[in-house]
């Protein structure tokens, strides 16, 4: 059974979304995703102050097996990137829901964020995606 924190929302592209403020979310990849990738050796993060559109590929995770795109789960502005991953990309493997977060996005209003998050998968829904 893959580790799936109940307090997160998930995408079918194996990303998790955690609300960290009224209009701000933190994004990472799931434990399932990192286990499929294998050993992560490089992470390309989006630039801060970049406007992103939902569904756009905005970051990359490179492992010993492949390179995978990370998609924006919502339209927003990049307000933070996890610089720890520049020096320690393997943190994605060891702590995908903690220190291995990728970036933070900020939207214009909290109500819009509520609606967007409601459309993402909960842990049970995501379990259905990975159970295949």
What does the DSSP 8-state code read for residue 50? -
Is residue 1 in some structural domain?
no
Is residue 40 in some structural domain?
yes
Instruction: For residue range 107-118, list pLDDT tens digits in order.
Output: 999 999 999 999
Tell me the pTM: 0.95
Is residue 86 in some structural domain?
yes
Instruction: For residue range 37-71, list pLDDT tens digits in order.
Output: 999 999 999 999 999 999 999 999 999 999 999 99
**Total structural domains in the chain?**
1
CATH number of domain containing 120: 2.40.50.100
Instruction: Tell me the pairing of strands 76-81 and 57-63.
Output: unpaired
Is residue 2 in some structural domain?
no
Domain with 86 in it: 9-131
Task: Render 59-75 in DSSP notation, one character per residue.
Answer: EEEEESS-EEEEE-SSS
Task: List, edge to edge, every strand of the sheet that includes 24-29.
Answer: 9-10, 15-21, 24-29, 103-106, 76-81, 51-52
Residue 3: pLDDT band (50, 70, 90) is: confident
Is residue 39 in some structural domain?
yes
Cα–Cα distance measured from residue 100 to residue 115, given in angstroms and rounded to the nearest whole number: 26
Cα–Cα distance measured from residue 109 to residue 47, given in angstroms and rounded to the nearest whole number: 22
Is residue 99 in some structural domain?
yes
Is residue 52 in some structural domain?
yes
């Amino acid at each position: 059974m893959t580790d799936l924190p109940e307090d997160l929302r998930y995408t079918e592209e194996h990303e998790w979304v955690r609300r960290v403020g009224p209009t701000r979310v933190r994004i990472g990849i799931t434990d399932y995703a990192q286990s499929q990738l294998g050993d992560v050796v490089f992470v390309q993060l989006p630039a801060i102050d970049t406007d992103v559109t939902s569904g756009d590929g905005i970051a990359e995770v490179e492992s010993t097996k492949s390179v995978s795109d990370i998609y924006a789960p919502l339209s927003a502005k990049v307000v933070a990137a996890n610089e720890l991953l520049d020096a320690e990309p393997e943190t994605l493997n060891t702590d995908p829901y903690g220190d291995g977060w990728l970036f933070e996005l900020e939207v214009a209003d909290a109500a819009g964020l509520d609606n967007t998050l409601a459309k993402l998968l909960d842990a049970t829904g995501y379990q259905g995606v990975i159970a295949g």
